[in-house]
Homo-oligomer: A and B are copies of this chain.
């Protein structure tokens, strides 16, 4: 007989993580995509500004581990949409502080509502303890501190 596999692809963590991530993204995607014509990087930038307040492209990039070219283009799109304003830092004129406009704030709050609801819905399938473990492990795997 064949030297058969004890390897189970559907247990391989990078595979499983990607599948789960893709699947879970779909549900949220339709909100920011259909409703605001945003791309993945765009909602991420929007959420960073909404959640943490004004910051520079650099800061968003290092927090979210997104490459600067992606940020640059996302910020350009968000500025076009009048969701974000840029103001040069006068003490270091290379960088600029990004902030949400009222319209951007409104979009953020709307999307945050959906996010919260979506998240709650996912969690409902599991126990509170399980969810806590999942979050803790994912934060660890993602390289996010606490």
Q: Which residues of A approach B to under 8 Å, CB–CB? A: 5, 7-25, 27-28, 44, 47-48, 50-52, 64-65, 112, 115-116, 118-119, 122-123, 125-126, 130, 133-135, 137-144
B contact residues around A122 at 8 Å (CB): 13, 141
Give which listed residue, B7, B19, B123, B142, contacts A116 with CB less than 8 A: B7
Number of identical monomers bound together in the oligomeric complex: 2
The answer to whether A137 and B135 touch (CB under 8 A), given A8-B51, A28-B14, is no
- Chain A: interface secondary structure? helix
B contact residues around A135 at 8 Å (CB): 11, 13, 16
Of all chain B residues, which has the CB nearest A7?
B112
